[in-house]
Amino acid sequence: MSNPAEILIIDDEVQMRKLLEITLQTNDYSVSKAATAKEGIIMAANHPPDMIILDLGLPDEDGHSVLQKLREWYTNPVIILSVLNNEEDIVNALDAGANDYLTKPFRTGELLARMRTALRGAFTEENNPVLSYNDLQIDLSARTVKRNNELIKLTATEYALLATFAKNEGRVLTHQYLLREVWGPGFINQTQYLRVFIAQLRKKLENDPNRPEYFVTESGIGYRFVFKE
Amino acid sequence: MVELFINKFSKTKQYLYSILLIFLVAGICFIFSGYIGYRVVAFILLVTVSLIAMFFDILPVLAAALMSALIWDYFFIPPHFTLQVATTDDSILLLMYFVIASVNAVLTYKIRQIEKVAMQKEEKANTVKLYNTILNSLSHELRTPIAAIIGATDNLQNHNEKLTQNNRYELVKEISKASFRLNQQVENLLNMSRLESGIIQPKKDWCDIIEVIYDVVKRIEENGISQKINININPAIPLFKLDKGMLEQVIYNLVNNAAIYTDATCIINIIAICHADVLQIIIEDNGKGFIPDEITHVFDKFYRLKNTKTGGTGLGLSIVKGFTEAMGGSIYLENLSTGGARFTINIVAETSYQKNIKNE
């Protein structure tokens, strides 16, 4: 890459910083590191990076408040690192503007995939109206879905849900986000709608609805639409 | 049980009940005094004091002994309605009555004290035994993967040039395997301490049981197991309002256990059924089943079945039971007549049918 993306790592554990630095440098990213929230915020302000990897468990300040401060002006992607069994923390961070998350311990391959997705711009009706993968073709401008070149009939809600997923391909979307986008702000706790419509989309679009490849469950958090590997 | 009985009554109430009981028995004896001799009454009162001694503290019992002696003297020993005693025989009897009643009270009390001490000792011994089991099991389960990691990294650092490419690859694979094993154990320990802390609260949300079960099975199949897993669920099963994380952990541990402890050619069946508002999940295999004597112990914390391979901390099934009960459910284990084991989980939960949701 001629102009490598600059990544700022904010993590208090020296081992984690080392591991992330080696992983990212090996993959041609340029890396800067901060060990505290204070240091991280100053570094981000002095020289805004293309992406921030933020650990939620920092010693000097709560990760959520760091994220909030960053999001007041910082618009590039933020990926958060958290410990397992803390879905609530993760959901809160995603709702507060984090682009994606990883739980420690994580596979570095996973980290790199999340980073690529976050750095890539979102799909929209204008810039990339047709998404296709394997036998599936989603045309956002024509509002059609084809499987093996055959038109798949979707209900209005099913299509709205699919379009929300397609525009955010590869990104984790929280239950609340999906419910708000597709059904409206009054429905953010009606997770049963989401369960039913995800099952319907899987039935119509997945090769094996019980072993989904496209609509992946992120347990306790939401769903991720995976269309490209 | 006796202890419980004692604790139920305060000191004052113990005095009151002992005296009342003595009066009651004495009253009945007095009514029938035309039919029974006054010396028999002494024995009846003595039995009453002995019974009181079994349940109450020493002082109320001694009070009952003294009170009953006086009552016997006043109402029953001739001359009646006076504390005077007419014959030498009766004087000796009265004195002996009081001594026997008191000795009775003191002895019963002492026996109870000794029992209490013995029970405390036994409890302490059990705690120490459990603690040692935990330490042994944990130090083995945590140290083995740590030893593998340290050994492998030492080799990679110190003998890097002497190692063949293949050996290097094998060592790195060992480190990776050991790390995942450590991670699994830590997760078990964290889940256990969550349960132990008692603050565990199920976070209920709508669950698609089909999705939950297939996701868990996919994770287990990715570990590279050789058994065949069959899933049998009616596609029209409703959504259930449950803690998805807990449910996943319960199913994961049960299916994973079946995969670890049965032969490679075995078949594991997972069945989910809805009976009214009860979700029933059955996980069964056609392996060897459990030794009948051990069935009652399998859910105990840190209990490892005899003659099983290493690789567990004895926490998996106790977490299963803990999480199931935290969700208000129950779990039952039985051996199948055809061989193999069957776990049955029943959880009462709110349901929601798809047909009521499709509102477009």
Residue for token pair 């994973």: B256
pLDDT-derived band at A1 (thresholds 50, 70, 90) equals very low
pLDDT-derived band at B8 (thresholds 50, 70, 90) equals low
Smallest Cβ–Cβ distance between B215 and the set A87, A198, A217 belongs to A217
pLDDT at A7: 96
Please indicate whether, in this complex, the C-beta atoms of B211 and A199 are within 8 angstroms of each other.
yes
Smallest Cβ–Cβ distance between A210 and the set B179, B210, B360 belongs to B210
**B3 or B159, which is more confident?**
B159
- Same domain for A93 and A170: no
Q: What average pLDDT does this structure show over B148-177?
A: 90
Q: Which residues of A touch B248 (CB under 8 A)?
A: 219
Residue of A nearest to B206 (CA): A192
Residue for token pair 């004087």: B91
pLDDT at B314: 72
How many other CB atoms sit within 10 Å of the CB of residue B114? 9
DSSP structure string for B263-330: -TT-EEEEEEEEETTEEEEEEEESS----GGGTTTTTSTT---TTPPS---S-HHHHHHHHHHHTT-E
Q: Is residue A25 part of a domain?
A: yes
A15 touches B: beta carbon within 8 Å:
no
pLDDT-derived band at B239 (thresholds 50, 70, 90) equals very high
Which value does ipTM take for this structure? 0.80
- Same domain for A112 and A12: yes
Q: Is residue A104 part of a domain?
A: yes
Please indicate whether, in this complex, the C-beta atoms of A198 and B208 are within 8 angstroms of each other.
yes
User: Which of A67, A93, A119 is the last residue before a domain boundary?
Assistant: A119
pLDDT at A131: 84
pLDDT-derived band at B1 (thresholds 50, 70, 90) equals very low
8 Å CB contact between B164 and B198 = no
- Same domain for A185 and A113: no
Please indicate whether, in this complex, the C-beta atoms of A210 and B214 are within 8 angstroms of each other.
yes
Q: Which residues of A touch B207 (CB under 8 A)?
A: 195
Of the candidates A105, A103, A40, the one whose C-alpha atom is nearest the C-alpha of residue A67 is A40
A148 touches B: beta carbon within 8 Å:
no
Smallest Cβ–Cβ distance between B354 and the set A196, A217, A219 belongs to A196
- Same domain for A114 and A11: yes
- Same domain for A112 and A176: no
Q: Which residues of B touch A220 (CB under 8 A)?
A: 244-245
Query: Is the per-residue pLDDT at B160 higher than 90?
Result: no
Q: Is residue A97 part of a domain?
A: yes
Q: Is residue A46 part of a domain?
A: yes
pLDDT at B232: 95
- Same domain for A12 and A78: yes
pLDDT at A36: 94
pLDDT-derived band at A84 (thresholds 50, 70, 90) equals low
CATH code where residue A171 lies: 1.10.10.10
User: Three-state DSSP class for A75?
Assistant: coil
Please indicate whether, in this complex, the C-beta atoms of B211 and A217 are within 8 angstroms of each other.
yes
Digit-coded pLDDT (tens) for B102-142: 888 888 888 888 999 999 999 888 888 777 777 777 777 78
Percent of chain B with pLDDT over 90: 36
Query: Is the per-residue pLDDT at A77 higher than 90?
Result: yes
pLDDT at B358: 60
Q: What average pLDDT does this structure show over B241-269?
A: 92
pLDDT at B6: 53
User: Which of A73, A98, A119 is the last residue before a domain boundary?
Assistant: A119
Percent of chain B with pLDDT over 70: 92
Taking CB atoms and an 8 Å cut-off, how many pairs form between chains A and B?
A: 45
- Same domain for A23 and A71: yes
Residue for token pair 């009652």: B296
User: Which of A76, A94, A119 is the last residue before a domain boundary?
Assistant: A119
Digit-coded pLDDT (tens) for B305-360: 665 655 566 788 888 999 999 999 999 999 999 889 999 999 999 998 866 666 55
Chain B residues whose C-beta is within 8 A of a chain A C-beta are 179, 183, 187, 190, 205-208, 210-211, 214-215, 218, 231, 239, 244-245, 248, 352, 354, 357-358, 360
How many other CB atoms sit within 10 Å of the CB of residue A117? 21
Q: How far is A211 from chain B (nearest CA, A)?
A: 7
Query: Is the per-residue pLDDT at B27 higher than 70?
Result: yes
Cα dist. A58→A175, B75, B230 in Å? 27, 84, 45
Domains of chain B, earliest start first = 1-199 (no CATH), 205-356 (3.30.565.10)
Mean pLDDT taken over chain B: 86
pLDDT-derived band at B304 (thresholds 50, 70, 90) equals low
Smallest Cβ–Cβ distance between A211 and the set B214, B239, B358 belongs to B214
Please indicate whether, in this complex, the C-beta atoms of A219 and B248 are within 8 angstroms of each other.
yes
- Same domain for A107 and A11: yes
**B196 or A184, which is more confident?**
A184
Please indicate whether, in this complex, the C-beta atoms of B190 and A199 are within 8 angstroms of each other.
no
Query: Is the per-residue pLDDT at B3 higher than 70?
Result: no
Please indicate whether, in this complex, the C-beta atoms of B357 and A220 are within 8 angstroms of each other.
no
Burial class (CB in 10 A: 0-12, 13-18, 19+), B155: middle
Of the candidates B280, B281, B285, the one whose C-alpha atom is nearest the C-alpha of residue B260 is B285
Q: Is residue A143 part of a domain?
A: no
- Same domain for A97 and A184: no
Q: Which residues of B touch A186 (CB under 8 A)?
A: none
DSSP run (H or E) holding B81: none
Sheet strand arrangement including A130-133 = A130-133, A136-139, A144-147, A150-151
- Same domain for A99 and A163: no
Give the total number of structural domains in chain A.
Answer: 2
Joined together, the tokens standing for residue A126 give 């204008």
Please indicate whether, in this complex, the C-beta atoms of A192 and B239 are within 8 angstroms of each other.
yes
Q: What average pLDDT does this structure show over A110-139?
A: 83
Q: Is residue A144 part of a domain?
A: no
Q: Is residue A130 part of a domain?
A: no
pLDDT at B313: 63
Joined together, the tokens standing for residue B158 give 């110190």
Q: Which residue range(s) make up the domain with A166?
A: 154-225
Q: Which residues of A touch B219 (CB under 8 A)?
A: none
Digit-coded pLDDT (tens) for A133-185: 888 888 888 889 999 889 999 999 999 999 999 989 889 999 999 999 999 99
- Same domain for A111 and A13: yes
pLDDT at B213: 96
pLDDT at B193: 84
pLDDT at B360: 56
- Same domain for A110 and A62: yes
Q: Is residue A64 part of a domain?
A: yes
CATH code where residue A51 lies: 3.40.50.2300
Please indicate whether, in this complex, the C-beta atoms of A196 and B358 are within 8 angstroms of each other.
yes
pLDDT at B81: 86
